[in-house]
A and B are shown apart, each in its own frame.
Chain A
């Protein structure tokens, strides 16, 4: 049991010093060094980017309702899916959970007053916004048609679009990732409250810690690569140009050396969120805490040695393919342990189906389908057939949207009372969670079938036979849109009209719930002393 020296502020008591009471002036937001306000800056920014990314996705799904390319020209279609990928990966998914929930909660969860480097934290957001707006402007005004993968030599020698500008923006945003990662690592290492040992850390903190390590280690490789692409495009030095003795496959190696671990940047924090939610609403400690921690670190480590599974048909050597396939099978094992442990956490619990719990159970389904289809893709001979098909599209959307976005929504609802001091409408929230689950499966399940049937990715038009599955998928996208728009409405509404939230509405055990909602500027009136683990729901 966590003991806190102060007595938690009781609901109804005047909270004059909560972090939002400092005022709503522009200055109080743009010059803040409070990790909680910075989390909000990120939350608003990523929501804006999410809107652009989703709008592009919706237009893509509209185009694909009919086999002929009739709504947009081929060039417009290519720009749309490039915009969708670039914005969603770099400006929504990668910062999503760490920069918002992580930023807000990590200091609270470790019993600290703020991040280790509060000013660096604000700088991260400025860098992120600068890079993000730069790329968004490039992608919308200039148009980029390379896809988010920027494969050479197409991106360096053939694409007549704003590749350089987009790359510059992504390069800049990388520094924001690195700084955020650095802040997390130092905070977790040096600022834990007395008694908060490593093995008493909430899994959410472990997951974000692992994510921070990946950000620090992998992002510089992406930066190097973007620099090389810039040099190649600008000066034609020939690193990736076979006519000058370069190797286009080198690009893919460097790209996936970053971009595969980046998948774990997206999914590890999601796993952390799910552990907190399932434990709380089963009134049970997380089953196999040690196994969960080991799994997180194993995923982090193995995540760095599987990049070549993106290149099984690329001309990479057969032996490299075999090795990468082997590690890709292995990296699935810790994920399987985590899935087992979440399920076992329900055992002998007292389960309540609140909106966050519906999101968490949806995550369980979606992540498992996404993970198992990852095994299909790790299997060499099968990958040869479904590589670059809709099977791959379906697989990674189950992980990215079904996993990362669902967990983000679940986490947002779970901690909303803490973030805002307000309760949301439970009925609307449950409706939105169910809409998301249905929408996701309806959108992406048909894409598995399309892929094996022979539908390639990134096609503006396609053979008539595939139309029925594409129509189903587009219908699903409509349902998904409802699942996203509803929370935007009732959560915004709750900001002003929602019932005031008590300090601990879910009767949760984590340290962040032992202070008032919303938390005071310096989180705790006195530094808490921790005497137990984060999941003592049974005592």
Chain B
């Protein structure tokens, strides 16, 4: 049903020169670098202290130096020195922990995005589809100044999408959706890598991120000449696979109606409740009996093996386009 994937383009690494600190293409990237510099500072201080002491002791207390050594440190002084060293160290560790965690929480709980781009990883390429249906491989075009969410999965093994210029990385895990969100502040071409070892051509699974101004991005999309949007493609699939036979618009006789479903809370046959998200919809297509909605018979067949990961994402986009239970897009 799904067409074979085109061959990935030849690798063209963006020519950036050696950057010990990569481009800061988002505000978040700059924030991570501050943390990095702070940690470098703390480490440098501790190393200087340690090496300083070792060198001073090595010179003063070398066995050839015939100076009276004085008594060793008493047990009570030992404890005091240890505590005096460890307490400030632990406190600074806790401070760094708090700092790093705050950034991480920001990264994991982003505001609603302006645009959601689907990314499917496979051995050994990144397949990207934009909301308007435009597809690309190993290259990711994004608009500057907009909050871009990536909805990531893998169709075979675990991969990991790394965008160094955005200090961003998220694994692509089969059977699971992960997401990564960033807001590019700088136009230009940056690097994109697979960071999780994924087999023979792992090192060739790299490409580039191209940040364009909003106007250029729109123009670029138009040049791609996508026939239908991602949601429309999903809608066509919905017809073709026969989903619409039971999930009829406005009717919830045989199967739950899908309007306004995304983001809503649904009661299941076993009495538990579930928030309908991408993962739930994916599960319901692949394993419909797993979390059956209360009041319905387990009659839906599994579509496992009949739809590709990209097609499932298109179906999700379609269901999302039917309304989203009051949540913003």
Contact = CB atoms under 8 A, between A and B. Distances in A.
Contacts of A40: none
A109 interface: no
11 contacts: A151-B157, A159-B199, A247-B175, A284-B72, A318-B105, A322-B105, A337-B82, A343-B54, A380-B104, A449-B20, A453-B22
Interface string A365-397: 100110011011011111011011100000000
Given A243-B304, A315-B176, A457-B197, 9 more contacts: A249-B176, A284-B72, A333-B89, A333-B90, A347-B61, A375-B93, A384-B107, A388-B169, A465-B19
A154 B82 contact: no
B176 to A, nearest CB: 6
Interface in B42-97: 43, 46-47, 50-51, 53-54, 57-58, 61-63, 69-73, 78-79, 81-82, 85-86, 89-90, 93-94, 96-97
A459 B202 contact: yes
Interface of B: 13, 15-22, 31-32, 35-36, 39, 43, 46-47, 50-51, 53-54, 57-58, 61-63, 69-73, 78-79, 81-82, 85-86, 89-90, 93-94, 96-97, 99-101, 103-105, 107-109, 123, 156-158, 160, 162, 164-165, 167-171, 173-176, 178, 191, 193-204, 206, 287, 290, 304
B175 A158 contact: no
A346 interface: yes
B104 A346 contact: no
A234 interface: no
A288 B105 contact: no
B197 A151 contact: yes
A8 interface: no
B32 A388 contact: no
A242 B197 contact: no
Interface in A442-482: 449, 452-454, 456-466, 468-469
Interface stretch (A54-62, A349-357, A425-433): A349-357
B39 A382 contact: yes
Closest 8 CB pairs of A and B: A242-B175, A454-B164, A381-B103, A379-B100, A380-B104, A463-B13, A346-B57, A388-B195
A341 B86 CA distance: 11
Contact of A343 (B16, B53, B201): B53
Contact of A381 (B100, B198, B200): B100
Contacts of A187: none
Nearest to B156: A158
Contacts of A313: 160, 169-171
B157 A326 contact: no
A69 B18 CA distance: 19
A48 interface: no
Nearest to B162: A456
Contacts of B193: 454, 456
Contacts of A132: none
A287 interface: yes
Given A318-B104, A351-B61, A382 B51 contact: no
Interface in A210-243: 242-243
A145 interface: yes
A382 B36 contact: yes
Contacts of B54: 343, 346, 361, 364
A458 B47 contact: no
Nearest to B179: A315
A121 interface: no
A285 interface: yes
Contact of A347 (B73, B123, B201, B290): B73
A147 B104 contact: no
A283 interface: yes
Contacts of A457: 195, 197
B61 A74 contact: no
Contacts of A75: 200
- Name the residue in B72, B168, B176 with the highest tally of chain A Cβ atoms < 10 Å from its Cβ: B72
A287 B82 CA distance: 10
Interface size class of A (residues with CB under 8 A): 35 or more
Contacts of A147: 197
A344 interface: yes
A389 B104 contact: no
B167 to A, nearest CB: 4
A465 B190 CA distance: 13
Given A337-B82, A349-B69, A453-B20, A314 B171 contact: yes
Contacts of A372: 43, 46-47
Contact of A314 (B62, B107, B164, B173): B173
Interface in A135-176: 145, 147, 149, 151, 153-154, 157-159
A291 B82 contact: yes
A158 B108 contact: no
A421 B106 CA distance: 62
Contacts of A243: 174-175, 304
Given A322-B104, A538-B72, A287 B78 contact: yes
Contacts of B13: 463-465
A347 B59 CA distance: 11
Given A154-B158, A287-B78, A462 B35 contact: no
Given A343-B50, A382-B35, A382-B36, A145 B200 contact: yes
B81 A344 contact: yes
A96 interface: no
A384 B70 contact: no
Contacts of B101: 322, 325, 380-381
Nearest to B87: A333
A378 B100 CA distance: 9
B57 A351 contact: yes
B61 A291 contact: no
Contacts of A378: 97, 100
- Name the residue in B22, B51, B101 with the highest tally of chain A Cβ atoms < 10 Å from its Cβ: B101
Given A343-B57, A351-B58, A387-B169, A379 B157 contact: no
Contacts of B194: 456
Contacts of B96: 329, 375, 379
B40 to A, nearest CB: 9
A325 B108 CA distance: 15
